[in-house]
């Protein structure tokens, strides 16, 4: 059985969803009430893959909302309690979605293996980052040519290059995709220099210096909401792949020749009888989902019950090959630009 741990995109949204699900007492509570609310297993689902393999899974809402991010103890408790619930339900492999994997890593929850009388078994969980990185690379390879960008001549800026997803994307693009140049963007210099040396290339630039040079920008960092960018400094055409969470780049960049694509989102080949992706505000919630969620499904389809994506900067090209092949075989495809795009060269 696979599991997905998720959360609503805002407190207001969470209250609306809780009402819809019949949890009236929680729905009417204020944020303090929500801070004490336990995780809920809200849905069970059966999924049949493109090659006829059937799996079962469950969606657990952690009852976390982004408004709790500043409450360190609450955020930590929400994620650990949801993981404990997944383990108690004997779910073999569970993906940490949305902010839950960020909280797990940034708050170093590896130190909190004991939750009441449950010892969390890390083998049962995955961040889903290997599949996310692979999907973002596919989105680049498939969509850049559609807007007139020749990959062999393109400069690709990776914002968040030293992160778990960003470093995997850099490794893939320099080894497998044959782009002209990688522009490496992050704040800390030491990890950037280490990455550059591992890649045997790539140019380290600030965000301001990288953007005017880039034909393609991959955003795999949670950027501050206050980030201001002058669209006149961006190349046309430019492909922007918004791999961060939450996905808010579409609001910042617009204009002819700038194409913003929701990064790390996949589509299943047929409708899935669940309503859980409505909680994640997918455009086509019966088919679309975060690639990290799909990773848990793929590991279940493949009987690969292990923490496939775990820790930081452990994603190898071999792992990306494995999960990418499984993704295509079982009926997932990377979400692309809308078909009515206008090319401006
Ligand atoms: P990491 O924490 O491993 O990496 C974050 C990276 O971003 C680091 O390179 C960090 O380097 C850089 N960074 C952070 N802030 C800034 C900034 N202000 N300017 C420039 N660089 C910055 O994160 P992950 O790789 O695990 O995840 C990356 C993003 O992808 C997150 O936003 C996450 O939510 C999202 N994600 C999306 C998924 C999906 O949509 N399917 C699934 C999983 C994750 P430094 O600190 O040196 O700046």
Selection from 101, 97, 122, 149 nearest residue 259 by Cα? 149
Query: What is the chain's mean pLDDT, rounded?
Result: 93
Whether residue 101 is found in the same domain as residue 186: no
CATH number (domain holding residue 150): 3.40.50.720
- Residue 321 belongs to some domain of the structure: no
Selection from 226, 235, 215, 138 nearest residue 177 by Cα? 138
- Residue 9 belongs to some domain of the structure: yes
Whether residue 116 is found in the same domain as residue 192: no
* 108, containing H or E segment: none
Cα distance between residue 320 and residue 224, in whole Å: 29
Cα Dmax for the chain: 61
Q: What percent of the chain has pLDDT over 90?
A: 82
Chain centre to alpha carbon of residue 266 = 10
Tell me if 204 sits within 8 A of 193, measured CB to CB: yes
Where in the sequence is the domain holding 146, given as residue range(s)? 135-265
Whether residue 57 is found in the same domain as residue 159: no
166 CA: nearest ligand 1 atom: 25
The total of structural domains in the chain comes to 2
Cα distance between residue 252 and residue 249, in whole Å: 5
Query: What residues have CB less than 8 Å from 311, skipping those under 6 apart?
Result: none
CB of 204 closer than 6 angstroms to any ligand 1 atom: no
Exposed/middle/buried for 31, CB within 10 Å: 0-12, 13-18, 19+?
Answer: middle
Residue 335: helix, strand or coil by DSSP?
Answer: coil
Exposed/middle/buried for 142, CB within 10 Å: 0-12, 13-18, 19+?
Answer: middle
CB of 163 closer than 6 angstroms to any ligand 1 atom: yes
Average pLDDT over residues 148-177: 97
Whether residue 105 is found in the same domain as residue 150: no
Chain segment 199-217, per-residue pLDDT in tens: 999 999 999 999 999 999 9
CB of 221 closer than 6 angstroms to any ligand 1 atom: yes
Interface confidence, given as ipTM, is 0.96
Whether residue 115 is found in the same domain as residue 141: no
CA 322–ligand 1 middle distance (angstroms): 23
Q: What is the DSSP letter of 306?
A: S
Tell me if 26 sits within 8 A of 18, measured CB to CB: yes
- Residue 230 belongs to some domain of the structure: yes
- Per-residue DSSP letters for 1-42? -EEEEE--SSHHHHHHHHHHTT-HHHHTS-HHHHHHPPPEEE
What's the pLDDT score for residue 90? 98
Selection from 263, 281, 291, 288 nearest residue 12 by Cα? 281
Whether residue 70 is found in the same domain as residue 149: no
- Residue 326 belongs to some domain of the structure: no
Nearest protein CA to atom 20 of ligand 1, as residue: 186
Average pLDDT over residues 13-39: 91
Average pLDDT over residues 141-167: 97
Q: Using alpha carbons only, give the angle 225, 276, 265 rounded to the nearest 5 degrees.
A: 55
Tell me if 221 sits within 8 A of 196, measured CB to CB: no
**Which of 126, 146, 180 is the endpoint of a domain?**
126
CB of 290 closer than 6 angstroms to any ligand 1 atom: yes
**Which of 210, 234, 265 is the endpoint of a domain?**
265
Nearest protein CA to atom 48 of ligand 1, as residue: 187
Structure-token match 């088919």, residue found: 287
- Residue 77 belongs to some domain of the structure: yes
- Residue 277 belongs to some domain of the structure: no
Whether residue 236 is found in the same domain as residue 193: yes
**Which of 241, 265, 289 is the endpoint of a domain?**
265
Average pLDDT over residues 8-12: 91
Whether residue 91 is found in the same domain as residue 192: no
Cα distance between residue 62 and residue 83, in whole Å: 9
Whether residue 102 is found in the same domain as residue 155: no
262 CA: nearest ligand 1 atom: 40
What's the pLDDT score for residue 25? 83
- Residue 204 belongs to some domain of the structure: yes
Whether residue 184 is found in the same domain as residue 121: no
Residue predicted with more confidence, 279 or 9: 9
Over its C-alpha atoms, the chain yields an Rg (Å, rounded) of 20
Nearest protein CA to atom 15 of ligand 1, as residue: 221
Whether residue 70 is found in the same domain as residue 161: no
Residue 283: helix, strand or coil by DSSP?
Answer: coil
- Residue 179 belongs to some domain of the structure: yes
Counting ligand 1 atoms within 8 A of each CB, the residue from 160, 208, 243, 313 with the most, and so the one to mutate, is: 160
Whether residue 194 is found in the same domain as residue 247: yes
116 token code pair: 């009441």
pLDDT band at 279 (very low <50, low <70, confident <90, very high): low
What's the pLDDT score for residue 298? 98
Cα–Cα distances in angstroms (integers) from residue 115 to residues 310, 313, 337, in the given order? 19, 27, 43
């Amino acid at each position: 059985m696979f599991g997905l741990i998720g959360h609503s995109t805002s407190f207001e949204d969470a209250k609306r969803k809780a009402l819809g699900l019949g949890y009236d007492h929680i729905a009417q509570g204020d944020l303090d009430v929500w801070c004490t609310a336990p995780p809920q297993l809200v849905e069970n689902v059966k999924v049949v893959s493109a090659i006829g393999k059937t799996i079962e899974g469950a969606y657990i809402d952690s009852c976390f909302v982004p408004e709790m991010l500043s409450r360190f103890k609450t955020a930590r408790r929400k994620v650990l309690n949801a993981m404990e619930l997944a383990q108690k339900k004997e779910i073999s492999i569970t993906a940490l979605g949305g902010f839950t994997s960020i909280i797990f890593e940034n708050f170093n929850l590896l130190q909190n293996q004991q939750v009441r009388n449950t010892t969390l078994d890390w083998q049962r969980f995955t961040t889903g980052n290997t599949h996310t990185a692979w999907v973002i690379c596919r989105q680049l390879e498939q969509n850049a040519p559609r807007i007139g960008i020749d990959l062999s001549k393109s400069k690709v800026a990776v914002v968040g290059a030293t992160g778990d997803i960003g470093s995997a994307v850099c490794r893939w693009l320099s080894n497998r995709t044959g782009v002209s140049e990688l522009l490496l963007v992050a704040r800390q210099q030491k990890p950037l220099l280490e990455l550059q040396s591992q890649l045997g290339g790539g140019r380290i630039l600030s965000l301001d210096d990288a953007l005017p040079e880039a034909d393609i920008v991959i955003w795999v960092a949670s950027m501050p909401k206050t980030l201001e960018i002058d669209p006149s400094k961006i190349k046309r055409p430019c492909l922007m792949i918004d791999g961060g969470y939450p996905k808010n780049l579409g609001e910042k960049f617009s204009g002819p020749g700038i194409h913003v694509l929701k990064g790390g989102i996949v589509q299943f080949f047929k409708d899935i009888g669940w309503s859980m992706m409505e909680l994640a505000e997918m455009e086509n919630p019966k088919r679309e989902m975060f690639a990290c969620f799909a990773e848990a499904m793929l590991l279940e389809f493949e009987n690969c019950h292990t923490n496939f994506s775990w820790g930081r900067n452990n994603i190898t090209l071999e792992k990306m090959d494995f999960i990418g092949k499984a993704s295509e075989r079982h009926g997932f495809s990377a979400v692309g630009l809308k078909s009515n795009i206008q090319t401006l060269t």
